[in-house]
Chains A and B, each alone.
Chain A
């Protein structure tokens, strides 16, 4: 197994301008995000709606262009890629799966068309092997009988089947990286596990690096090797999935964990004591921790200085002055912020 990271993200930032006559405000959708995706691993990007996680996926899929920061693909800077041939090369290795199975397929084209197009564009197989390859892809994604499915139109398939077609399409180009943007949140509950298991299988068989964007911690735990927790556009915690969920460092991760329903536990005794706030990206946020308004551990420095992502233990990092303080920073806890 190669250890080189096919995709490396450094200080990725995306701001969307808001209309304003005099003062141009901007929404900091993604702010200073850094991570890497390694082959044969599933990295979960967990956050609530508006936290910026989908934007990260779309930035990596080159559907948006970053405001700042770099994305390195196979060592090369992505923003330097301009020629169509190079863009195509990138697209043949980085694919995206969308959330809405009803919207991600063209309603007037057959399943076969959807799978043939990427095969043709990237010349994956010679012309006479197209049909065979399409059937193989469908079978790999658990859609049988492939010949029958290939002839169908999207509206003739169920939500779960459509999502499998989307996965098969992504796999057609034999990508190294697959960005899955909430692939199961619009599916029926009993079908979700099937899709998650499919992702696990593909990760192992094809050594693909998955980015699994989700708001559901439980499913992240089920399939992910590593977890990145996002809040208001920033990564606030990262580390191996099991460790982060067993012993979360960042107060937001702790909040998420205590709020999420756990099918393994009956009644949750702990009551959430916290102030209201939004996990969504802030408009022109001031200096300081973005979670400070809701944080039970907040101290004075939290509203003055934006915390950096500090590695508190090997492989585990958090963006918090209190639980992962930068070396040398004094965090003498003053009276608790009310």
Chain B
């Protein structure tokens, strides 16, 4: 695989390990206007460094897909950015022209959407879809583009001859690989994956994720992996951020998050994945359901479902129901937004 990697014509990478590639600062996204507007993303801070895999975990409606769309600047009305900045290698994307953004997308950052398998044009051959994408962003003649397409297909584990295939001739897993290959065709520095393997079998899922890991080692891109499956992130991500009701409630290196989760939601979420090995213990999950963002709970948004939010501790209870907790760093690399942690109770 490495030899194929060297054959692909790319500009040499100049990346300093550890520098911040994408920085979201106090990102706020709303849907709609006026009275019925919904704040889907509320003051999110997120940092992705070059070459690392950051996982963004949360359940339906927590805003994680909106974060990804905002980062790519592809928010569609009625969604619109109402605050914060999106810094890519130090430059704020908000306020860039349409042309600059177009060049930014796919070259610097590319995205694999949810159920992207269906994003392939059914009446175009696979190779032509590569050509389309590549030629939209750089001057390259068709023959070279097709050659690059074949190389990329090989990289993701598909036989080169399939460059001439139509999407319906490929299985779901293969189509997903094609999408990933197209996303990598212009050598982005950041790859955003939004639930890339949800519709796939567990075996194919693991293969694809291992492939992405291998590609990452060879090309050095960073990955933002968005999913509801926290157990996947525990295996593949370097750092994990947990989102709930539009906010990031905890963020830590994967191993630390698994060993020492501090936010009650993270603890509950980890409790929701029954283990395949080790002792079998009864689990409780999390009672209730995610809040309606048109009318989020006052104070800490998780408090109606939190086992530690009890009127018996009036001082703390008051804070939990009235004041929004802020993300604070409690150890190196470990941030939590929780009153309990602040008070030193948890």
A contact set with B: CB distance below 8 Å: 48-49, 158-161, 188-194, 196-197, 215, 217-219, 221-222, 242, 245, 255-257, 259-268, 271-272, 274, 276, 278-279
Contact = CB atoms under 8 A, between A and B. Distances in A.
Interface stretch (B112-120, B130-138, B268-276, B323-331): B268-276
Given A190-B286, A194-B287, A197-B282, A215 B276 contact: no
Given A221-B276, A272-B210, A189 B230 contact: yes
B78 interface: no
B60 interface: yes
Given A189-B228, A191-B285, A192-B272, A221 B280 contact: yes
Contacts of A161: 289
A260 B229 contact: no
B278 interface: yes
Given A188-B228, A189-B59, A262 B276 contact: yes
A97 to B, nearest CB: 18
A49 B172 CA distance: 11
A161 B288 CA distance: 10
A49 B234 CA distance: 25
B33 to A, nearest CB: 24
B171 interface: yes
A189 B206 contact: no
Given A188-B60, A218-B274, A278-B171, A259 B290 contact: no
Given A160-B289, A193-B285, A264 B277 contact: yes
Nearest to A157: B289
Given A189-B230, A263-B231, A218 B276 contact: yes
Contact of A268 (B173, B235, B286): B235
B7 interface: no
Nearest to A261: B231
B231 A256 contact: no
Max chain B Cβ within 10 angstroms of own Cβ: one of A48, A191, A261 = A261
B232 interface: yes
B260 interface: no
Contact of A266 (B235, B283, B287): B235
Contact of B275 (A160, A218, A268, A271): A218
Contact of A272 (B203, B255, B289): B203
Interface string B221-252: 00000001111101100000000000000000
30 contacts: A159-B289, A160-B289, A188-B59, A188-B289, A189-B59, A189-B269, A189-B272, A191-B286, A193-B285, A194-B285, A197-B282, A197-B285, A215-B202, A217-B276, A218-B275, A219-B274, A221-B276, A222-B274, A242-B280, A245-B276, A255-B203, A260-B202, A260-B276, A261-B202, A262-B275, A262-B276, A263-B273, A265-B275, A266-B234, A267-B235
B229 A189 contact: yes
A222 B273 CA distance: 10
A100 to B, nearest CB: 14
B171 A48 contact: no
Contacts of B169: none
Nearest to A217: B276
A190 B268 contact: yes
B105 to A, nearest CB: 31
**Secondary structure of the B contact surface, majority rule:** loop
B258 interface: yes
B201 A48 contact: yes
A262 B230 CA distance: 10
B32 to A, nearest CB: 20
B207 interface: yes
Contacts of A245: 276
Given A222-B280, A278-B171, A259 B274 contact: no
Contacts of B290: 188
A215 B201 contact: yes
Contacts of B129: none
A188 to B, nearest CB: 4
Given A221-B280, A257-B276, A263-B273, 10 more contacts: A189-B59, A191-B289, A197-B282, A255-B203, A262-B231, A264-B275, A265-B275, A271-B210, A272-B203, A278-B171
A271 B285 CA distance: 31
B37 to A, nearest CB: 22
B201 A279 contact: yes
A188 B268 CA distance: 13
B225 to A, nearest CB: 13
Given A188-B290, A255-B203, A261 B232 contact: yes
A65 to B, nearest CB: 29
A193 B274 CA distance: 8
B202 A266 contact: no
Nearest to B268: A190
Nearest to A48: B201
A189 B273 contact: yes
Given A221-B280, A261-B232, A190 B269 contact: yes
A160 B206 CA distance: 28
Max chain A Cβ within 10 angstroms of own Cβ: one of B205, B276, B284 = B276
